[in-house]
Structure 1
Amino acid sequence: MGDVWEGKTQGRSLSEEEQSRLSRQDERRVNEFKANKFQREAQKHWDLFYKRNTTNFFKDRHWTTREFQDLLPSSDDSHGTDSPRPTLLELGCGVGNFVFPLIEEDTSLFIYACDFSPRAVELLKAHSKYNEDHIKAFQCDITQSITPRVPDPGQKMDLVSMVFVLSALRPCDFDVALRNVCDCMKEGGVLLFRDYAVNDMAMVRFGPGHKIRDQLYLRQDGTTSYFFEIEFLRDLMTRAGFKVLHLDYIQRKTVNKKENVDAERLFVQGRFLKSTKIIVK
């Protein structure tokens, strides 16, 4: 699993070779016209991604309840048979690699799941475990208002999960997206967050011709990825109306036996509380 670096404001240190790789990325950057074009056409590129890979690219996320205790069934017995089930909205649901393992763990949550890609939502709904007694999926652009898109009108969320989602947006859309997330939640709701951190191996491995600007990269498939620092993310969340409950860098080791790759991954992970008592300047 790796280590959790609690309260650490710096990511992992880079070797000389890794520093050299980062320096070479500046030799040939993505020009502004190309970068803007790909980011404007993000939905098309995500749809093409799911057309090529269908359900075969991402692994199921069986680690979520270990990392986020909020997803586990509550010991509070106040939710009787006549009480509404607590609600979870998964943003960027893809083809269900988060929600279906969660359903298998017999969660008490009712899950709403949305994705930017209509094709991803279609694939999720075609899954054998998709059942609207437990989950409802819908297409949504989170840079637009989220609440009107939720299948049950007026439904507000107890929990929202946002795992490797914000990094896929244009940085100029971070603020509005997070405000929309906050607006779709109940007072006292909790946002569960994980995303890429600066100096993650995925960032270091980009070669020349992929860097748009500092911390923002264009992938081979036309999608983009941003790599976060903790203080920047803390400011984003506070401006959006969240109180930071917990925010850390976490290090995880991933092993790909087939390709003989042993990589140190670095993420930002946090829990954030919606509270109207927070004064956002």
Structure 2
Amino acid sequence: MEPNDNNNDDKRPKFGNRQLTDDDNVFKHNAWDNVEWDENQQEAAQKKVTENSCVTLTNEQLENLEIDADKNWDKFYGIHQNRFFKDRNWLFTEFPELAPHIHENDKNESVKLNQQQLESSNDNEKLTENNKKTAENNVNNDIEYLEEKMKHLTDDLSTKSHKIFEIGCGVGNTIFPILQYNTNPNLFIYGCDFSSTAIDILKQDSNYDKSRCQVFVLDATKDDWSTPFDEQTLDVIILIFVFSSIPPEKQQHVVQQMYKYLKPGGIVLLRDYGRYDLAQLRFKKGRCLADNYYARGDGTLVYFFTQDEIKNLFLQCGFEEIQNIVDRRLQVNRGKQLKMYRVWIQAKYRKPLL
């Protein structure tokens, strides 16, 4: 049973701001934010990954998995369609850049995770001074960036076009909320996916508005992109749990392509799987393709990132870092009294202004 909203002590905390301060309350809510790991938990995760990281597939099997990647994603969407996904209620909390208006409270929400990570690092003497400085810089960069966006927001909404492009849009679970809540009359959203089945499902949805969005099939790992927009014309590029499905050796190319199509000052918003996430720890032996890169049972592929890997991929292509944080979340099954630790990377990178 959910807590009584009329009781101030039990009132459900705002999403993204639910801190577990008393272990006795762990099963009071379905999820807790920014849960720190102790040494034993970190060591156990490393041991589990070492155990499941032995590559047993033949070269032919590895090659076939990448060759059949589009077919496997088509099968995935053909089976699940839009029944598999939940609404992304966190989308505008974590990425206020996608919301119709940016207010002061939105700015505070956007830097929330960086600030909490900084506070945690101050309480943890084992973290290096470099980590603390990184957290401080992320907070300052996020504030400066959003203040700049707030200053120019009125002009942007009234006179300038605003183009958003989602790579790996699936069946529209990010595109449709943006269309619903972003009232900017000059907004236009593009979306692409590896799976033609996903694109077909998205286009058949009643929320698909051709006057405000366009979706198409694209393999982002290809050398050249065929897109309905020109280079240096995009304001925002979104990747939500998509970058991890790109083979590690092709990730740098995708970042280079994003840089090419963004306007100066344009940004990339990324959220994806972090190293030692529950999904990685659950893999059995025989599913590993390379270090931290796995094939799921349905043939779809997934990589698990560190902050430094994301940072290096983007900085080497000329991007400026706005945000790069680890979001450690504890999800619980209150019925079965189970704890599930999730680790996600959230990052924002900007193409420098000319």
Do the aligned partners of residues 259 and 89 (structure 1) sit closer, same or farther apart at CA in structure 2, a change above 3 Å counting? farther
Equivalent residue of 2:73, what SS?
A: helix
**Does residue 180 of the first structure (1) align with residue 242 of the second (2)?**
no
Paired residues of 1:241 and 1:276 also in contact (CA < 8 A) = no
1:159 is aligned, of 236, 240, 260, to 236
Equivalent residue of 1:55, what SS?
A: helix
In structure 2, distance between residues paired with 1:180 and 1:13: 41
Paired residues of 1:92 and 1:114 also in contact (CA < 8 A) = yes
In structure 2, distance between residues paired with 1:198 and 1:80: 38
Show structure 2 runs of 5+ residues with no match.
Answer: 1-15, 17-31, 103-152
Q: What is the TM-score with the length of structure 1 in the denominator?
A: 0.86
Equivalent residue of 2:164, what SS?
A: strand
Paired residues of 2:53 and 2:291 also in contact (CA < 8 A) = no
After alignment, is 56-65 or 171-180 more displaced? Answer: 56-65
Equivalent residue of 2:345, what SS?
A: strand
In structure 2, distance between residues paired with 1:141 and 1:258: 41
Alignment correspondent of 2:278: 201
Name the Cα RMSD after superposition.
Answer: 2.7
Paired residues of 1:230 and 1:247 also in contact (CA < 8 A) = yes
After alignment, is 174-183 or 17-26 more displaced? Answer: 17-26
Alignment correspondent of 1:60: 87
2:59 is aligned, of 19, 29, 32, to 32
Q: Which has the higher helix share?
A: 2
- 1:217-276 Cα offsets, whole Å, 9 max, x none, are 110010110001111111110122211111011112334568765411101111100127
- Return the structure number with greater relative CO, CA threshold 8 A, min gap 6: 1
Q: Which has the higher strand share?
A: 1
In structure 2, distance between residues paired with 1:119 and 1:11: 43
Please list, as runs of the form range in 1=range in 2, the aligned pairs for 1:111-130 lying within 5 A after superposition. 111-130=189-208
Do the aligned partners of residues 30 and 258 (structure 1) sit closer, same or farther apart at CA in structure 2, a change above 3 Å counting? farther
2:330 is aligned, of 253, 275, 281, to 253
Structure 1 residue 106: Cα displacement:
3.2
1:88 is aligned, of 134, 145, 164, to 164
Do the aligned partners of residues 11 and 62 (structure 1) sit closer, same or farther apart at CA in structure 2, a change above 3 Å counting? farther
Do the aligned partners of residues 80 and 194 (structure 1) sit closer, same or farther apart at CA in structure 2, a change above 3 Å counting? closer
After alignment, is 115-124 or 255-264 more displaced? Answer: 255-264
Q: What is the TM-score with the length of structure 2 in the denominator?
A: 0.70
Identity of aligned residues (%): 30
Paired residues of 1:31 and 1:212 also in contact (CA < 8 A) = no
Write the letter of the residue equivalent to 1:190: I
- 1:73-117 Cα offsets, whole Å, 9 max, x none, are 245221465x24311111100001111122222342321111111
After alignment, is 19-28 or 163-172 more displaced? Answer: 19-28
Structure 1 residue 165: Cα displacement:
1.2
Please list, as runs of the form range in 1=range in 2, the aligned pairs for 1:1-281 lying within 5 A after superposition. 1=16, 2-4=32-34, 14=41, 18-26=45-53, 29-74=56-101, 76-79=153-156, 83-108=159-184, 109-144=187-222, 148-150=226-228, 152=229, 156-255=233-332, 261-275=338-352
In structure 1, distance between residues paired with 2:217 and 2:314: 24
In structure 2, distance between residues paired with 1:249 and 1:126: 36
In structure 2, distance between residues paired with 1:107 and 1:250: 29
